[in-house]
Chains A and B, each alone.
Chain A
Amino acid sequence: MAKYAIEVENVKIRFNLASEKVDNLKEYAIKLMKHELMFQEFLALQDISLKIKKGESWGFVGANGSGKSTLLKTISGILQPYEGTVKVNGRIAPLIELGAGIDPQLTARENIYLNGMVLGHSREFMEKHFDEIVEFSNLDKFLDSPVKNFSSGMKARLGFAVATVVNPDILVVDEVLEVGDMRFRRKCNERMQQMLSGGTTLLYVSHNIESVRNLCQYAVWLDEGKIRMIGPSSEVCDAYAAEQEEQVQKKQKEKRERLRKEGRKYDYLIVGAGLYGAVFARELMKRGKRCLVIDRRSHIGGNIYTEDVDGIQVHKYGAHIFHTSNQRVWKYVNRFADFNNYINSPVAVYKDELYNLPFNMNTFSKLWGLKKPQEVQAKIAEQIADLHITDPQNLEEQALSLVGRDVYEKLVKGYTEKQWGRDCRELPAFIIRRLPLRFTYNNNYFNDFYQGIPRGGYTGMVEKLLTNVDVMLETDFFEYRKEHPDMFDKVIYTGMIDEYFDFCYGHLEYRSVRFETERVEEANYQGNAVVNYTDREVPYTRVIEHKHFEPEAEQENPKDFSIISREYSMEWKPGIDPYYPVNDEKNNALYEKYRALAEQEKNVIFGGRLGSYKYYDMDKVIEAALADSAKELNIWIQ
């Protein structure tokens, strides 16, 4: 038994481009007389050396014309090498094209025999395996109809069934499985897997890199007839995919730049490079629309912007933890970033005590020393009952009636007062509708299915979303519109809706926050990403230690310093960054007035947190952007 199934050594395949076009005597004679019989050589393969052991599976990738099929044909014996040698040990079943050798005039039954014999089987052998082939190809009803009446999928089934009737020593598959329906392809894949486990050597060419990755142990990347890379298939596939992606990007970038130089008009002007704008732009770009994204700030990403400070991703506009229960959104963001498995479990500091958040059994047992959920439930019920609040008139009474005095005093009161800048007794009750209490020992702050933070920060994710979209930073929409009123057809506006209408009905109100970011020379400042301060005496509401959002980055590259941000809640006034819309009755009514105006603006779509005056989590923003863009593009989504 030879060790290698296939040995290819220094193979060169040469075509003569000039003389192959002369295929008749007349032209030949004329060219001969005129001395025009030139020799124009073309090397389809050069210096190809490969050693493939029995039972291995090899994928071949490369652009069109890179020599993949030529190589497989050489191994199959269809082409003879011009130089070098090809040694093959074992029987080859070539699937260069399914249904090669199928005669359309003959019936399926006759074709099974003919095709089998073309592949070198004997009549006796074919008779023995006839039923097996018919069963696999699922054509028993059409056995005696001429193949010319078959669909291409049926022909493919027939071809595959015949070619793989016996476990060949070497199976050569050249992009033939791209035809046919899903079921057939799955069946073929199963068959190939089964043959592979039975010791068959597989040579596989496909433009579908994923299938090469899944099916093959090794891969060869051919480029203009030469081996560009050879090795484990995942490595080769990654490198090949990366280069392909790069080339596509380069081409698109060139086109983008050319259009920009020509001063061509944009289909859409997107105001604001935040998450809503970026997702919207990406969806429009995917459908071939040309977009310009502008932003007042000097960076993309809006409030989810993260800045790399000496290897730590700093959440410049507050902690952003991605969480969602929408699988579609989760899959969507994962296309643009690798998410880590960060789970938000903040802690609260009240004076010199420390409690787990959200309010759960860990919190309660620390508060009261109780262990059993029933005891805790009884304790809280007792505290609530003692207060005799039936109709809460303000936030304090509302909160007390929900969680009782201990939790309220230590964990709610101070924090809420700092957040709103006023006493809880002066705040309306509706701000807190419910305070979820958890009677399990579970510190996971969110209840969503999926949670995480993009490795390397959110900015990279937004950058990827904005691939192939023109972006202009530090550009004010109102000035741009004045200077270039003809540069765009439509506007996606994610800024403050009242500003768009020049505050004609007055200002909408917001809450804002301010950050004091500081570098501390400590490797681990507070041991958690988020620590809330719930007593009124501490001026800030919480402290964020950014490195804990990315524990894996810290593990890879430990740093002996840390970046922390103290978060202060503050009243918003014109000129500072707005964060949270104040959705009270007064502001909502005002917003409705603006919204009515917005509906009059035919060529402007308002969206995002500021454009629709609504508190959005990141997943909800993406959902909204996907829905709005689909509506704009007239696409139905499920």
Chain B
Amino acid sequence: MDLLRYRIKTLFKYKDLIQELVARDLKLKYRRSFLGYIWSVLNPLLTMIVLTIVFTHLLGKKIENYPVYLLSGRMLYDFLKASTTNAMKSVVGNAALLRKVYVPKYIFTLAKVTSCMVDMVLSLGALFIVMVATGSQFHLTLFLLPLVILQLYIFCCGLGFLLAQLNVFFRDIQYIYSVVLTAWMYFTPIIYQLDDRFPRWFHIAVKGFNPLYYYIAQSRDIIYYGNIPGPRVFWGGWLIAFVMLAIGVWSFQRSKDKFILYI
């Protein structure tokens, strides 16, 4: 219990540092580019346009209001991809600093995931624009969106810790993970709809073993369908998030004292 109190105390002590690191990431992202914040909105918007053009003509069966369908899933995936990839490099990338000053190492991982989350929240503007442009309805359920983001944030923190820790010992994890990310995207109904065209085993595999499905299903319900998410995906989402966090924290904690020897 004392240990926990101590951890919370240090986290509190370094809260300003996390803030500052997040601010730095965002500042650096926007500072020296001409369009600045617009990029955060423009980027998903342009991807969405390309994908919409490609897929509405390619896929046999049309999905109603495909831009909103796509964005409501794609945004979460982009967040997962950006936050975990950045988190993975967070410890190794700050090697120079960690060798010189004592700073709790998880601060950097946490800051990266957080700055990516802030970036995603900012890019919600793109979704808003698309929804207005396509004349889709704004459901009251939208107010539940923060809960989903929070779940995914916790999940990404856990995964980020795990990857950051692995990357210290095995640098080629980065290449492996980028392959995993691509596969993960196709294994998740982001650009397509999980309907009866897919075999039954695929349904089971996605719904049973793909954590990302739980968050995308929730956000679709909230944004696209205007439903309250079902208890299975909702509570499942929370459970998975905390299990991932526990795994991440445990693996990070176990090896953090050895980092300095490898970075």
Interface residues, chain A, with chain B CB atoms under 8 Å away? 15-16, 20, 23-26, 28, 73, 76-80, 92, 94, 96-97, 100-101, 103, 105-106, 110, 113-114, 117-123
Contacts and interface: CB of A to CB of B under 8 A. Distances in A.
A85 to B, nearest CB: 14
A96 B13 contact: no
A120 B13 contact: yes
A76 B101 contact: yes
B102 A78 contact: yes
Contacts of B98: 78
Contacts of A122: 13, 16
A106 B27 contact: yes
A404 to B, nearest CB: 80
B102 A117 contact: no
Contact of A117 (B20, B171, B173, B261): B20
A402 B169 CA distance: 94
Contacts of B21: 114
Given A110-B24, A114-B24, A76 B102 contact: yes
Given A16-B261, A105-B28, A92 B102 contact: yes
Contact of A123 (B19, B96, B170): B19
Given A94-B101, A123-B16, A26 B172 contact: yes
Given A77-B102, A78-B99, A106-B24, 9 more contacts: A20-B261, A24-B171, A28-B170, A76-B102, A78-B101, A79-B260, A97-B100, A100-B96, A118-B97
B121 interface: no
B17 interface: yes
B97 A100 contact: yes
A160 to B, nearest CB: 14
13 contacts: A25-B170, A80-B257, A94-B100, A100-B100, A103-B24, A103-B28, A106-B28, A113-B20, A114-B20, A118-B101, A120-B13, A120-B17, A122-B13
B101 A25 contact: no
A117 B16 contact: yes
A16 B261 CA distance: 8
A497 B260 CA distance: 70
B179 to A, nearest CB: 13
B262 interface: yes
A81 B148 CA distance: 42
A23 B13 CA distance: 33
B176 interface: yes
B101 A110 contact: no
Contact of B172 (A24, A79, A105): A24
Interface in B10-27: 13-14, 16-17, 19-21, 24, 27
Given A20-B261, A80-B257, A118 B28 contact: no
Contacts of A100: 96-97, 99-101
B247 interface: no
Q: Which of A77, A110, A114, A118 has the largest count of B CB atoms less than 10 A from its CB? A: A118
A15 B260 CA distance: 10
